[in-house]
Amino acid sequence: MSLQTSIKNRVSCAGIGLHTGARVQMTLAPAPAGSGIRFRRVDITDRDNWLPARYDLVSATGYGTVLENDAGASIATVEHVLAALSGMGVDNATIEIDGPEMTVMDGSAAPFVFLIECAGIKRLQRARRVIQILERIEVVDGDKHVALEPSDQFSAAFEIDFDAEAIGRQAHRVVVTETSFKAEIARARTFGFLHEMEHLTARGLARGGSLDNAVVLNGGKVINRGGLRYRDEFVRHKILDAIGDLALAGLPILGAYEARRAGHTLNNRLLRALFDAPQAFEIISLDARRLSIAAA
């Protein structure tokens, strides 16, 4: 798709935040070409309430990705809705929300994909610009690593390794298109261990977490009624998170992402390393790229 996109109509939903447990209402709204993805805290009226979806506004990554602007307005747990918009090829949209954390919905990106499909996607009369990876960029932290390699398509490969019997070692790779995202990634839910959730709740976190919005393990066994949505749902959700985190580059990426035992922190460090290395990428117009290929 060589033209930028947005959604056709406004669409809203309500739900609770995974960590705050606060009930919020969210609206996806159309946005003009070139504006990118932006959040707006509609409950904040006394200062700047706009938060562009950018890697350099990430203020925390411990239990999800948090954005914060210079005025102190913030929005937490943005990765799932960003993954849905990126996976569905939406370049420009405004996300209006009346609280400090995105609604968790069912713990996956599938409900946001449904909202996007309800709103419809429209092409805008401006060429899509993308980040073409030219050189390998890698961030290593002990036995964890993330990297971006040159490629003519966006793909994601992830490997995880847990002691829990229900998880173990899992690996998955996907060339990310609208079709593959919906079929292979979007329905994968966030996950955690029962003892960890109890610990987080005691610290004032995961107040909204439940079997309705997360895969929960106890003693290495999945305790959700109905079990898993995919045999390797855990690693697929890690890919979902990575797609959302990489959307904070501000433009689609043409490159191969690979990760092992990584998370939000390393994903953000990877984007910072990329933009600190201008020789490792170029921003190109897909129209220009298509014309140059046709001429060749």
Predicted confidence at residue 292, as pLDDT, reads: 40
Predicted confidence at residue 196, as pLDDT, reads: 79
264 classed as catalytic: yes
Predicted confidence at residue 288, as pLDDT, reads: 52
Question: Tokens 């261990």 map to which residue?
Answer: 193
Pick from 206, 213, 192: nearest CA to 263: 192
Q: Per the residue annotation, which of 19, 80, 237, 264 is the catalytic one?
A: 264
257 and 245 in contact (C-beta within 8 Å)?
Answer: no
Q: What is the pLDDT along the chain (296 residues), one digit of tens a residue?
A: 699 999 999 999 999 998 888 999 999 999 999 999 999 999 999 999 999 999 999 999 998 999 999 999 999 999 999 999 999 999 999 999 999 999 999 999 999 999 999 999 999 999 999 999 999 999 999 999 999 999 999 999 999 999 988 999 999 999 999 999 999 999 999 998 988 777 777 777 667 888 899 999 998 899 999 999 999 999 999 999 999 999 999 999 999 999 999 999 999 999 999 999 999 999 999 875 543 433 33
264 and 242 in contact (C-beta within 8 Å)?
Answer: no
β-sheet bridge partners, residue 158: 172, 259
Distance CA 243, CA 124 (A): 23
Predicted confidence at residue 290, as pLDDT, reads: 45
| Cα Rg of the chain, angstroms | 19
Distance CA 139, CA 132 (A): 18
